[in-house]
Amino acid sequence: MPLEDDPTLHLGSAADCRSRFLSLRAQGVVPYGLDTGVVLMADERSIASLNEFDERNPPHVWAVDVEYDPETKDYPAVMRGCLR
């Protein structure tokens, strides 16, 4: 699975991640079979959750809906996926 490690994204939001993914998709960079409509995002808090055990912050990454549109969708754009 390709990883996008862009220093300009380190302080970005899920909306930034979604925008970057859509840009990569438009450029034809997303390999066939990996364009599932969801992209996994690891932010500072989720990386900390992988490195340090804390019951209040269990190990997780964020699942970002790349097709999310607040005008037409009535569910959260981002979900926390725990890695237990």
Mind listing the pLDDT tens digit for each residue in 28-72? Answer: 988 888 888 888 888 888 888 888 877 888 888 888 998 888 788
**Sequence-separated (6 or more) residues with CB below 8 Å from residue 36:** none
Q: How many domains are there within the chain?
A: 1
Distant-in-sequence, close-in-space partners of 46: CB < 8 Å, separation ≥ 6: 60, 61, 62
Q: Which residue has the tokens 């699975």?
A: 1
Q: Which domain holds residue 59?
A: 7-82
**Which pLDDT score is estimated for 26?**
92
- Structural domain contains residue 33: yes
In this predicted structure, which of 9-13, 19-23, 59-63 has the lowest mean pLDDT? Answer: 9-13
2 within a domain of the structure (yes/no): no
For residue 58, is it within any domain? yes
3-class secondary structure, 60: strand
pTM given for the model: 0.73
For residue 72, tell me if it sits in a domain. yes
Average pLDDT for 17-28: 88
State the pLDDT at residue 12: 74
